[in-house]
Amino acid sequence: MCNASGHQGPLYKCDFYESKEAGKLLGDMLKLGRSKPWPEAMEAITGQREMSAKPLLQYFEPLREWLEEENKRNDEFIGWEKTWRPYDTSSGTRFVPLFATFVMLLLVNQLVVAE
């Protein structure tokens, strides 16, 4: 969609709002409905049948960099200590906020899937 709209630059800055070319591409793909398998519908809109996590990783790259910088700046501990026990409050283990943990797990999972 970004390519069809003529977007240049980082993926996270892509805006195909009011792009007739991107709209036609999306419309043509949606017209297929359930008549074709999803790889064919994806090929109609992207030109390829294979899925890759690379664009998703590129999209989240600024967030990943920001999280790493913030964690270093705040001297945050990422993950759990090996001695951590779920109901033991005496260890004083610090936790990464849930959202940051989710994003990092998502990125790691996508890296593994992309390989």
Least confident of 28-32, 50-54, 85-89: 85-89
pLDDT single digits (tens) 60-104? 999 999 999 998 899 887 777 777 666 666 655 555 556 667 777
Phi and psi based region of residue 106 (left: phi greater than 0; alpha: psi -120 to 50; beta: remaining): alpha
DSSP 44-69: HHHS-SS--SHHHHHHHHHHHHHHHH
Residue whose structure tokens are 């036609």: 24
Average pLDDT over residues 21-50: 88
Could you tell me the pTM of the whole model? Answer: 0.43
pLDDT the model gives residue 97: 58
> In 10 A of CB 25, how many CB atoms?
19
Token output for 29: 């793909």
Q: Which residues 6+ apart lie within 8 Å of 22 measured at CB?
A: 1, 2, 4, 5, 16
Average pLDDT over residues 7-29: 89
